[in-house]
Chains A and B, each alone.
Chain A
């Protein structure tokens, strides 16, 4: 793909067309695509006036392909029915300055908003310029109407498609003022997700569905113990399985690397002419591992270690207020403390990890759903020596990313194996058992909370000490980030310790990342403190959020008491927290922001506990995510996020015994099912700000809302996930 940038970061006008590989479009559409004229880096318009929006971000179920297309289409002024999604190849250079391909942190809509507004508006302007020249009138005489250009003098009309070619020759204007929101025709409407017509016909193409001529299906038998080594293997029985073609070691690429660490387990790959043959061959493989120290450890060992570490003296990594406040006990009347543990969690995307790869001399081509194509290119270059410009990445939607698909390990494995196999294309697939037992997980987080209460019964100091198996921002010396606490507490201290060497599994990003543990600990502990002080948990929060304040917690977005208060008030207004309590029933409140996406939510959970059975009856969720691009798709994310959090609450955690994950498939790693699903109500704070991110907003607050409700119903505090059956009795 050729692209040249105009001076000053303008639109791209020379464009070789989108790649035709690996998308969900039908063949007919493909043929037509090649006729389309690229008006800019995100947009092609065909002579039939079909509009093709290039999806540069990873569509993994969060609905961004549709949301982003709506932003562009709004400014472009086109008929929404004529807008098509195009899942094209990565083009790291071109898009680096246009939001990139990297997808995560609930930032896609927020970050792409100004870029796509400009792209849409500039393209419309160029089309109008071309029409003005065509009709030989002033630009001011031209207007547009849903994909058509109108000459105001004589009402003559042209379609965008008629003149797209000419329009593409104009220099892209800059800084066009976007539409006033009062004039929106698409934004704010609950439009249907554009991927659905293909999904319901079974024609929407995922990485798993890609076929490359001559490819071999590949399964890697990886070490069952984290950081174990491959000792030796005997493939004689495997090679005897009909269809098995090759057996190769992946020991050379094993280990931990990356700026955002990931881990490749050493293993032995079985390459065969069908998935079934590869699986049968893998089952027949005889492998000996040097399992190492971790084979002697279980999850309880890690838990004891973390608890011990949390009692060691430590230094603050983040701070707000007076450093002496914690030592100066004279002002403190009483101290309340508690320990919370948010365990490992499996991602369990419905589409297991996979990558199809073809290596050719000093170059490669891969097909996969990925949140981080540039991370792949960088790591493949570093580890396998292939120049970045020779790495072609065909971007496909995925059956769930949840942070796991940010990491490049599966692509590295696939490319390495294609190379070792002499350039045979390979399709590497994780079985579900491998997805659960040989994978990376949500970090284990052990948190010790302590508050100092002064004589006025106010929180004078708030101290959190966290032991966690993954770092992110906490130890960056230039960004001493605090957990996302927005309450107006004068002195806050955060001591973080990275527990890396002792971890039994490699940790990584998992939908809502650190907010999961932080919200769980903070919002449950706050509830404890309120009860301890004989205050109503809602009134107590209100007190702590009374004053309007924007606090710098070390994050690029400041945390706002006003926005926290507004979502809380909205959620609380939809229920009666003061209604007389019924036997076995409970209501619980929690409030938590998602700072990467700059959004806020509050949730009220209603539960019933009877005869040892916990039923989550209803979740009321109030959201402030700025303006809504597509309210129904936002609502969908909020609903799904709540169930994501509650799956972890009801069924989460990862048992590890003798270094081995004990959950092998969905019968052991349960996720929420239809019959367990609560009713969900979602309400929005009206806002002209943003738009902000929503993908990871609702999981964190769902968990403490239910646990606080559970306390009300049973009088029992849950300080470690998941809720066990015996907790209910």
Chain B
């Protein structure tokens, strides 16, 4: 079957029940999207499907169809998405393993709610686990990115 990831079409010969995560990692070889639990419990595998944040570890390949998939590698051309910048400014990642998922979840949040409150960020990001404990910085970085996007658009 054929799926579209970061604007590029890929033909994949695999079990239709295989989760999208493994198509992205093992077949398309985009390694930025991470395996954390396989059950949609941790959010490390978060990607966008038609702009919505989804857990790629629970979506069978057969359910992808024509939908546009975006991974962390496709979030921006050169790593300059406001979240990618605020993540650096706030020194967010420690080990970094969950952060692609955190950023993709945050990017979807900002798309639907460009200036969220702190509480809204905490609630929206609650499904993304971080074992290093970077939550406070994630929250700060999301709010900072929202602000910088706002000032740019003004």
Is B5 close to A, CB under 8 A? no
Which residues from 170 to 205 on chain A have a C-beta closer than 8 Å to any C-beta of chain B?
A: 190, 192-193, 195-197, 199-205
Complexed CA–CA distance, A400 and B14 (Å): 31
**B146 proximal to A (CB < 8 A):** no
Q: Is A640 an interface residue when CB atoms closer than 8 A count as contact? A: yes
Task: Compute how far the CA of A81 lies from the CA of B15 in the bound complex, rounded to whole angstroms.
Answer: 46
A432 interface hit (Cβ, 8 Å): yes
Given contacts A350-B36, A432-B36, A633-B91, whether A640 and B134 have CB atoms under 8 Å apart is: yes
Q: B79 to A192, Cβ gap below 8 A?
A: no
Contacts of B133 in A (CB 8 A): 639-644, 647, 672, 677
Query: A interface, how many residues as a size bin?
Result: 35 or more
Number of residues in B with C-beta < 8 Å to the partner? 60
Q: Does A274 contact B (CB under 8 A)?
A: yes
Q: When the two chains form their complex, are residues B42 and A350 in contact, meaning their CB atoms are under 8 A apart?
A: yes
With A202-B33, A399-B96, A432-B36 as known contacts, state yes or no: A677 contacts B131, CB within 8 Å.
no
A351 vs B34: C-alpha distance when bound (angstroms): 8
- Bound-state Cα–Cα, A429 to B15, Å: 20
Interface hit among A15-23, A56-64, A114-122, A313-321: A56-64
Is A398 engaged at the interface, CB distance under 8 Å to the other chain? yes
B26 touches A217 (CB 8 A): yes
Q: B94 and A61: CB pair below 8 A?
A: yes
User: Is B114 in contact with chain A by the CB < 8 A criterion?
Assistant: no
Task: Give chain A residues whose Cβ lies under 8 Å from the Cβ of B134.
Answer: 636, 639-640
How far, in whole Å, are A5 and B102 apart by their CA atoms in the complex? 46
A275 in contact (CB, < 8 A): yes
Please give the distance in Å from B118's CB to the nearest CB on chain A: 11
A208 touches B35 (CB 8 A): yes
Q: How far is the CA of A671 from the CA of B42 in the complex (A)?
A: 10
Pick the contact of B22: A61, A275, A633 (CB < 8 A): A275
Which chain B residues have a beta carbon within 8 Å of chain A's beta carbons? 14-15, 18-19, 22, 25-27, 29-39, 41-42, 44, 71-73, 79, 83-84, 87-89, 91-100, 103, 121-123, 125-139
Task: List residues of A whose CB falls within 8 A of some B CB.
Answer: 60-63, 190, 192-193, 195-197, 199-206, 208-209, 211, 217, 242, 274-277, 280, 348-352, 397-400, 402, 429, 431-433, 632-633, 636-637, 639-644, 647, 665-667, 671-675, 677, 679-680
A-B contact pairs, 30 of them (CB 8 A): A193-B91, A196-B91, A199-B100, A200-B83, A200-B88, A200-B93, A202-B33, A204-B96, A274-B22, A276-B14, A276-B19, A276-B26, A349-B95, A349-B97, A352-B35, A352-B36, A432-B38, A633-B91, A639-B133, A639-B134, A639-B136, A639-B137, A643-B135, A665-B41, A666-B42, A667-B39, A674-B121, A674-B135, A674-B138, A675-B122
- Contacts A201-B84, A432-B39 known; 6 new A-B pairs at CB < 8 A: A399-B97, A402-B131, A432-B42, A640-B134, A665-B38, A674-B128
